[in-house]
Each structure stands twice: as structure tokens, then as C-alpha cells.
Amino acid sequence: MKKHNFYAGPAILPSIVLEQAAEGIKDFANMGLSILEISHRSKPFEAVMDEVQALTRELMGLGDEYAVLLLSGGASSQFYMVPMNLLNESEKACYVNTGVWSTGAIKEAKLFGQIDVLASSETDHFNHIPKNYQVPSDASYLHITSNNTIYGSQYHWWPQTQIPLVCDMSSDILSRQLDFSKFSLIYAGAQKNMGAAGVTLVIVKKSMLGRVSRKMPSMLDYRSHLEKGSMYNTPPVFPIFVTLLTLRWIKQTGLSTLEARNKKKSESLYAEIDRNSCFYGTVQKEDRSWMNVVFRAHKTELESAFLDLCKEAGCVGLSGHRSVGGFRASLYNALEQDSVDVLIAVMQEFEKKYA
């Protein structure tokens, strides 16, 4: 039976990427060696690093004014690296709180300077993206989280600001066409749409670096990684290789095509949630995520029964986050429409049985 993978991350990868990655484990670049055992200083792997950076710039339409860094530590490491590199103790930065990950970013940033939380949807259980707030002009940067994996909300607009815009795009990067030049710094864990867990992408305007007066450990200074081409220390070789394969697939497929697919997948699933008498969505409609569709059953005692039906149909990874409950269907780039159609059919079967 085919498995329909709705896990929130690490997430589904294109089948061709899995095949090519498996081949690379056995024999990388016809070297007679595995990608897992070659030197990161070897010419074939240096070519991987160069191509990942070039493809990232191409797909995002970015010029040489941006540094493209491939780091380890996960996106959560950027919660402190961003303010450490961009914020002096005497300065302030602005944050918008839209969920668990922005909450974590705010907590870490407070270690490095004054943090103003301009808006938050926490009192409404993070069921929307805050709007109608003013961004001060004297802050070092504004930090937002573009997509909220746990609660299922997403930015479909960007704040108007004259200060640098910093964005955690971990769960929706390269899922749609954007003007990425609006951002001064973007960071993202690769394990949703870009590749395998273990590598973190950081894109930062070079002009943003070197502004703070504090002394920093070399490993936490973006400049160290820029100067060494993301090889200040041994990089996460295999996840970077998988990222290369995934970026090639994104380029071949086309970002506009992926955007259209992702929009269709989410719209079809939300339409069934709204139609089906057994379920309801948890996020305001204008802020619903295309990537993480969060919903509940009206009769919570039947939630396990629904998950059992999903399992029988080969649909996996649908349990909501432990802090939220209910259900979460993650619709990342590599998930096909037919998997969404199977889930919709299960929901309709559930309605016939329990409504």
C-alpha cells in the first residue's frame, strides 16, 4: 500500500531525490566512494557547495549582496545567532509573536538587547496573523515567522517597514514565488521543502554584518562562515547533498508550478474541512497556511477513530502537535495531489460513518 506522508518534518521528499541520494551513498560522483566518507575539502564536494549556493540565489532571485550560508544547529540556533550578530545591547529589535517558534525566538533575543513585541495572537491561541500594528523606525530589525507549523497560520502579506526585515521561513521556504529581496535576513531548516534535517540555510545581506560591538565566538559569527564558504568547520555533508538534489528538482519543476500545486492542495483540503460536518478549521480563513493544515473534530472522542481510518488508507503523520491536539496535514512541495485526495476521501467516509 502506498504511504501518504503528511508528517510536519522531517518531511516528504521527491522520489527522484531519494533515489539519487541513495545512489550517492553507494557511489558519489563516480568516485567509488560514498558521499558519507569523502572529504568535505574534495573537489566534488566543493562543487556541491558551489551549486547549492548558486541554485539558491537563482531560485530566490538574489544577487551577490547576499551571503548564502549552510550551517548546522537547526533553525532554533538562529533564534540567538540573529540577535547576537545584528543587535547591540543598547539597541532594540521588534518581533511579532505568531506561535511557538516566534515565542522561542523572542525568548532568546532578549539575552542580547531590548525586544519590543509589536503584536501577538497568543491570547487567541495563535489562530491568526496580527495586523494593523506600527513598526518603529528606530529598531535594528523586525523579525517575523512566515509560516507557523504547529498552529497552521501563514503570512500572505508582508509588514510595511523601513527597517531590515528578518524572517524564519523554515516551513514554507521555496513553496511559492516571493520577492525575497524584501528581506535582509532569511533562515530556514531544510527539512520541510529543501532537503534533509541537519542543514540550516541562512541568507543575509552582507551589509548587515559587522555592526555589533560585542565579541562573539567564531562559530556563532556569520562572518566566519562567509569567509570560509560555509566550511569554517566540517559541514553537514549528506544533508547538503540532499539539499542540492532537492534544489535541482525545484528548478526543474518550476517554483511557479509548485506554488500552483500547493495552492490547489490546500484549497481542496480546506474546502472539505469547511464542508464536512465532522470537522472544523482552527485558523482564520485569510491566514490559513498552505503548508500545515490544522483542524479538529467536533467530537473529540472520535479523533482516534479518524486516525485509525487514516492509517488504514495509508495516510500517516496526521496527529496534531502535542501542544495543540487534533489533526495536522502538512502539504509540502513533494506531496502530490492524489495524497490529499485520499485524505479527503477518508474524511468523507468518516462523515458517513459518524455524522
What whole-number distance in Å separates Cα of residue 316 and Cα of residue 151?
19
Query: Is 192 in the active site?
Result: yes
What whole-number distance in Å separates Cα of residue 273 and Cα of residue 295?
8
Query: Is 157 in the active site?
Result: no
What whole-number distance in Å separates Cα of residue 197 and Cα of residue 318?
20
Of the candidates 7, 23, 6, 8, the one whose C-alpha atom is nearest the C-alpha of residue 238 is 23
Q: From the candidates 3, 26, 101, 110, give the one annotated as an active-site residue.
A: 101
The three grid cell numbers given for residue 312, joined into one nine-digit string: 488504514
Q: From the candidates 124, 172, 192, 287, give the one annotated as an active-site residue.
A: 192
Query: Is 101 in the active site?
Result: yes
What whole-number distance in Å separates Cα of residue 78 and Cα of residue 68?
14
What whole-number distance in Å separates Cα of residue 28 and Cα of residue 120?
47
**Full DSSP string of 261-325:** HHHHHHHHHHHHHHH-TTEEE-S-GGGB-SSEEEEEESSGGGHHHHHHHHHHTTEES-BPPTTT-
In this structure, what is the dihedral angle of CA atoms 255, 259, 262, 267, given to the nearest 10 degrees?
-170
Of the candidates 325, 36, 333, the one whose C-alpha atom is nearest the C-alpha of residue 191 is 333
Q: From the candidates 26, 107, 168, 287, give the one annotated as an active-site residue.
A: 168
Report, as residue numbers or ranges, the catalytic residues.
101, 168, 192
